[in-house]
Amino acid sequence: MPHTKASLRSTAVTTALCQRTVAWTASLLIGLALIVAIIIASVQPAHANPGRWQAEGWATDFSQTTIDFDEIMDGGPRRDGIPPIDDPTFVPVSEADHLSALEPVMSFTHNGETRAYPLRVMTFHEIVNDVVGGHPVAVTYCPLCNAAIVFDRDMDGEILDFGTTGKLRNSDLVMYDRQTDSWWQQFSGESITGSYAGSELTMLPSQLISFERFAAAHPDAVVLEDPGRFRRPYGLNPYRGYDTSAAPFLFRGEFPEGIAPLQRVVLVRDGDGMFAVSVAKLIDDGTFAQDGVEVVFEPGQASALDTEVIASGRDVGNISVMRDGEAVVHDVTFAFVVHAFEPDLEIIQ
């Protein structure tokens, strides 16, 4: 029996409603998991306990540390409960039709090879152990800090593979390496406890950029695929409304004065010339320059931490940081994060 236009329309509407219900249910479940994580963190013992961590199976040498262990919070998930991606697969830009124009991606180029890592994937995995341009790198993203950072995995000749500890410090992801079980602060790249304590990973320049801008600039590049084997609701935002909230969660430090804790800030990591400038100033002025480094704002990128669907997030713009035509290591993060890790650094407004 042939389908009428009305029946086809009805089927399409039903299908759309079913897809919407599945997406909403998945987002709700993730949101409930986050609430549970917050409750767990709020009732954890007042003093962090390396003995308890060892009982969890950690072989970390906790006798070596650069921090006070009381700064560590349980984030809820166990070790690798947020699973890193170890064998990433990619598709050509021309075949990445599941990405919308304004979706945010991490753009990274090394030795002439360029790849994009969409935040729709990074939000659910946080770490990709990859090899780009023949060199081992760790592509990382901490949603609670909006910290998108690429690290060199070659530590003095030892190639490290990274995972997620399930712990947080200053609301930031604490990573670990599988070779020594040392713990590493994602925002700074410093090993905070274990046999590598005090060592620092080398950061490599990357950029948060909308997919349409990435595709226009790198038409021959490749894009990280949604890894279906993990069964995550890629494209949804489990942190709905986070970057417009009054305060971060899973954070117990001091807030900076004179600026909202979750206002976006560009932290330029230019060696001894580190500086921070608010995105609000860049929106007003368009550009900012200091010590030969130029920071430029252009509209047209969706926030990954706003609406339920990442592609529908409000426009937070694209940031580029260059010196003499070369990319400079930087991070588009939040004011509270900069203040937590660099308390003496003034945020230019």
Given this model, what pLDDT does residue 228 score? 87
Mean pLDDT, rounded, for 281-294: 97
pLDDT-derived band at 323, boundaries 50, 70, 90? very high
Domain positions in the chain: 50-230, 242-348
Flag whether pLDDT at 11 surpasses 80: no
Selection from 200, 156, 195 nearest residue 179 by Cα: 195
Mean pLDDT, rounded, for 143-168: 98
Mean pLDDT, rounded, for 40-44: 45
Mean pLDDT, rounded, for 27-32: 48
Considering only residues 26 and 291, tell me which one the structure prediction assigns the higher pLDDT.
291
Mean pLDDT, rounded, for 261-272: 94
Counting every residue, how long is the chain?
A: 349
Flag whether pLDDT at 264 surpasses 50: yes
Q: Give the tens place of pLDDT for each residue, 174-222.
A: 999 999 999 999 999 999 999 999 999 999 999 999 999 999 999 999 9
Selection from 296, 301, 299 nearest residue 319 by Cα: 296
- pTM over the 0.85 mark: yes
Mean pLDDT, rounded, for 231-245: 96
Mean pLDDT, rounded, for 236-240: 97
Given this model, what pLDDT does residue 47 score? 56
Given this model, what pLDDT does residue 196 score? 98
Given this model, what pLDDT does residue 33 score? 47
Flag whether pLDDT at 134 surpasses 50: yes
Strands 172-177 and 162-169: antiparallel
Mean pLDDT, rounded, for 283-306: 97
Residues 184, 169: Cα–Cα separation, whole Å: 10
Given this model, what pLDDT does residue 34 score? 52
Q: What percent of the chain has pLDDT over 90?
A: 83
Buried b (16+ CB within 10 A) or exposed e, 74-93: bbbbebeebbbbeebebeeb
